[in-house]
A and B are shown apart, each in its own frame.
Chain A
C-alpha cells in the first residue's frame, strides 16, 4: 500500500495532522495536570511545582473513602462484565440470530447515560414495589429492598455500560482463534471447560486482559449513571462533579482530575508499550516461520 509515486511530504503532512488531532484531544488534559502541580492553582501568574494538592486530596478522608468505593465498583464491574463479554462472544459465534443478538449487546452504546440511568432508576423503584408486594403476599420480608439504590444498582448500571466494550474487544480477539483447536481438544477427551481453559484461553488471554483494563478504566471514569443509581456512597467522579458545580474549580479539583487522568494514561500507556514489545517478539517468530518450507 506504500505509494512509491506519492509525495513523501503529503505523507508526512497527513501523519502530522493525525498526531495533531490526538494532541488537541489530549492537550487540555495535560494542561489540567500541569495546573494541578501548581502551588497557586489556575490563572495564577507564577508557577511553582508542588505535590501539595495531591497530598491534600489523598489525605482527605471523604475523598479517600470515595476512592475506595470507586475501586470496589470497578472491581465488581471487571469481575462481571468481562466474563459476560466472554460468554456473549461465544454465544455470538454459535447463535443463528446474530444480528438481533449484537443489537441487544451494543444497544447501551447508543442510549445516553442520563436517559438510561433515569429509566433504570424508575425501574428499580418499581421492581422494589413489586417485590415488596410479593413479599407481603408470602407473609415475609424476604424480598424487601433488593433494588434499593445502593451498590447493586450502581453496579448494574456500570455493567450495562461496560459489557459492550468487553464484548467487542473479546470478539475481535477471538476472531483470530481457530475453532479446530477446541475441536481437537474435545477429540482428545477434554470437556468443554477443559478445552476452553487449557487450549483457547492461553491464546486469547491478551484480549481478555485488555478488556479487563478497559472495563476498569471506564468504570472508574464514569459519572452520570453512578450519580443517579448509587446510594449510601459516592464515587470519586461523583465528588469531582459535585465540586465542579458547587464550589467551582479548586486546586483540589485539579488534583482529583489529575489523579483520574494519570491513572488512565498509565494503564493504557503500559498496554500500548506491552503490545508493541509483544508484536516485536511475534514478528521475529514469524520471520523464523516464514523460511521456505521444503517438502520434509
Chain B
C-alpha cells in the first residue's frame, strides 16, 4: 500500500500547478538564478570596456590645473608627438619586440619538447613547474635582477673573480639591455604557457607523420609545427609585447634615467596632473593592442586557441 508521504508527493510535488505566476513568467523558471550569471559580463563591461572606450574621449579633453574639462582638442596628442615621448615610445616598442623574440626562442622549444616527448599525465606537472616563477611577484623577480646584474652583483663578481674581465660590466643594468633582460625574465613563463596552449593544437601524430615522411627536424618545425601553433604563439607574443611597452615596473627598476616606455610616461603624466596626456598615451597603447589583435586574428584566426578550453 502506498503511504501518505508518497501520495502527497505524487499530487503536489511531481504534478505542479498548471498556471504560473507573473513573477515566474517574467524572470523565467529559475528567477534570480538566471541573471546571476550575467554578473561577470556586467562587471567587465562596467569597469573595463567602458573605461577603455572613454579613454579615447578623455584624451581630447582640455587640461586644467588639477583635473580636466570636457572639450575637443588634440593638444595632448600634439604634446606627445612633438616631444621626446614619441621617440621613446617607438624605442620601447623595439625593445619589446626584441624581448618577444628572445622569449620565443628560449621558451617555445620547451613547449615542443614537452608536447612531443613527455607523457600526457606529466605534461601538466611541467606547466605547474613554470607556474612557480610566474607566481612569485614580478616585483621581486625584477628587483632581484639588481643584485645580479649590478656593478657589485653576482655576474660581475664572478667574472672578475675568474679573471675574464677587470672592470665590472655596467651596460647590463640601468640601460635598455637591462630593460630587455627584465622583460624576458618577467614574461617568459607566460610565453611558456602560451606555447603549451599553442601546442595543444599540434596532436602527437603530427610528429610521427613528419618523421614518417622524412622531414628533418628544422623543416618539420618551420613548415608544420609553427603554422599549427601560430595562434597561440601570436597571443603569447602580443601579451609580452604589450606588457613590455605598457608596464612601468621594469623600466622603473632596471631602466635608469632615460629608459622609458609608455607605462612610465603615463605614470609621469599623472604625477604631473596632466590627465589628457595620460589618456592620450593610454589610448595610443590600446589602439596598438587592438591593431595587433586584429592583425593576428586575420592572419591566424585566434579563436582556435579556445578549442582546448571547450
- B101-142 interface with A by 8 A CB criterion: 106-107, 109-110, 113-114, 116-119, 121, 125-126, 128-133, 135-141
**How many A residues touch B, CB cutoff 8 Å?**
93
A237, B139: Cβ atoms closer than 8 Å: yes
Task: Bits for A238-280, please: 1 = Cβ < 8 Å to B, else 0.
Answer: 0011001100010001000100110011011101100110010
Task: Bits for B32-57, please: 1 = Cβ < 8 Å to A, else 0.
Answer: 01001111110111011111101100
Quick check: is A9 within 8 A (CB to CB) of the other chain? Answer: no
B204, A1: Cβ atoms closer than 8 Å: yes
Q: Give the contact stretch, choosing among B83-91, B225-233, B236-244.
A: B236-244
Quick check: is A233 within 8 A (CB to CB) of the other chain? Answer: no
Residue in chain A with minimal CB distance to B144: A28
Complex CA–CA separation, A63 to B30 (angstroms): 48
Quick check: is B63 within 8 A (CB to CB) of the other chain? Answer: no
Contact of B137 among A14, A102, A221, A244 (CB under 8 A): A221
B279, A122: Cβ atoms closer than 8 Å: yes
B113, A109: Cβ atoms closer than 8 Å: no
A268, B289: Cβ atoms closer than 8 Å: no
A112, B148: Cβ atoms closer than 8 Å: no
Residues of A within 8 A of B118 (CB): 1
Complex CA–CA separation, A171 to B109 (angstroms): 27
- B5-55 interface with A by 8 A CB criterion: 13, 30, 33, 36-41, 43-45, 47-52, 54-55
Residue in chain B with minimal CB distance to A90: B37
Quick check: is B73 within 8 A (CB to CB) of the other chain? Answer: no
Contact of A192 among B33, B131, B248 (CB under 8 A): B33
Q: Given A22-B130, A115-B282, A249-B146 in contact, is the A123-B245 Cβ separation under 8 Å?
A: no
**How many B residues touch A, CB cutoff 8 Å?**
91
- A12-28 interface with B by 8 A CB criterion: 14, 17-18, 21-22, 24-28
Most chain A CB atoms below 10 A, which of B48, B130, B263, B310: B48
A32, B303: Cβ atoms closer than 8 Å: no
| Shortest distance from the beta carbon of A35 to any chain B beta carbon, whole Å | 6
B48, A21: Cβ atoms closer than 8 Å: no
Q: Given A17-B110, A21-B106 in contact, is the A32-B147 Cβ separation under 8 Å?
A: yes
Complex CA–CA separation, A63 to B17 (angstroms): 62
Complex CA–CA separation, A107 to B43 (angstroms): 13
A112, B243: Cβ atoms closer than 8 Å: yes
Residues of B within 8 A of A224 (CB): 247-249, 263
Task: Bits for A88-129, please: 1 = Cβ < 8 Å to B, else 0.
Answer: 101100100011011011011111111110111111011000
25 pairs, A vs B, C-beta closer than 8 Å: A11-B117, A14-B109, A17-B110, A32-B143, A35-B147, A43-B152, A84-B43, A110-B239, A110-B242, A110-B289, A111-B289, A115-B266, A118-B266, A118-B278, A119-B51, A175-B309, A221-B136, A223-B138, A237-B137, A240-B143, A245-B252, A249-B147, A257-B144, A272-B128, A272-B129
Contacts A3-B117, A112-B285, A261-B137 given; 19 further ones with Cβ under 8 A?
Answer: A11-B117, A14-B109, A18-B114, A21-B106, A28-B148, A31-B154, A32-B144, A88-B41, A101-B41, A108-B48, A112-B243, A113-B248, A113-B249, A160-B47, A193-B33, A221-B140, A223-B139, A228-B270, A272-B132
